[in-house]
Structure 1
Amino acid sequence: MKLENILLGVLLQKPSTGYDLKKYLDTVGRFQRSNTQMSQVYRSLSKMEDEGWVTHTVEPRPGAQDAKRYHVTDEGTTLFLDWLTGPYHPPTRFQDPEFGVRLSFAGFMGVEEVLRLLETEISTRRDEIARFRFRDRKLPLDPAWAFDTDLAGFIGEWSHQTGAAAMDAHVAACEALRESLLDGAAQGVRKAHNREGVR
């Protein structure tokens, strides 16, 4: 998943400066992409502007360097929405961030699109559990150096059990979200927000 997809989604929610985008990636978006440097943000913004996906306005700041505030173009909007609502191919590791990133921009999707995303994630992870949970995890060993087989086996089993529990928790959370959406909870939240003037 490209940094540009995240930046476009954030900018579509609110035109921002490069500094604002870096702050987002360090706080709210810290699990979407790790260790993003300011130079990477500005390189991506430059590329996005060259491609016609964003434009910028200059905000004068007396006594400080002028700030560029970036805005998404129609072409950038189309590109982002095509990615967001396009086919989702779950990575082999459920911990990879693309699923969570897509969910974080659910406000740009309809409930049906979110449900399709959830169905793909749930069915993929259920298939992986069925295929790999009870696989033969023994490895042929012929260590070339001192090696504690018992310790390695103990840690390996701990790792397997921990990973299995994390996968089960992930699937259960996705299924609970799916049920909430199917029960109409999202529509109730939307109506409450609209009454408060939140869009």
Structure 2
Amino acid sequence: MRRLWTVPVFAALMLFASNGCAADFGPSDIVAGSAGDVPEFTGPWASEFADTYRAGSDVVRAILEDGAISDAEWAETSDAFIACMQDRGVRVTLDDAYGAIALPDMPKPDAASDAALDACTPDFYAVSSLRRDLARNPDARDEDAIIAACLVEAGLVEPGYSGEDLASDAKQESLPFDNDDPVFGSCIRDPLGLLE
């Protein structure tokens, strides 16, 4: 299942890219809508589909109603996001196939880019975050456990380091490694090695 502490850490890791500013947006950016009847979703991510459907716009609900996000729906969502940003004078690119974005013309966000992001990200984030979660952890395994296992395999922590250890260390802000370590970033982005 999704761990809340990984969302801000993931967002922080995605904040700066080599070609400009990149960002990842959190669940608070989803715009609440009037969902009416929520379809009966099945599978390991059923509750996340239901929550996103409930909170999403009509566009998001139309995409999610069948319990899947097709490549065509993803392409339409990302194209609409890029066009929305361009309409507001901000050039944006996708840094990966799962919604990490870059603002290549800006070393850091400014008021214009912030306003554009506020206007353009709700539907994009709702779809991209769920799509990324499905791809990186298809069986909705415990986030702490899979990230800890990745850290052990990569040699960043000692064998036996568990998901419980990671959750406790993160809560106490006492991780046994540097927050900025690229191995940690890689394990958060792709703990099971499925996105590469």
**TM-score class normalised by the smaller sequence:** under 0.3
Q: TM-score under structure 2 normalisation?
A: 0.25
Question: Which protein is richer in helix relative to its size?
Answer: 1
Q: TM-score under structure 1 normalisation?
A: 0.25
| More RCO (CA 8 Å, sep 6+) | 2
- Which structure has the larger Rg? 1
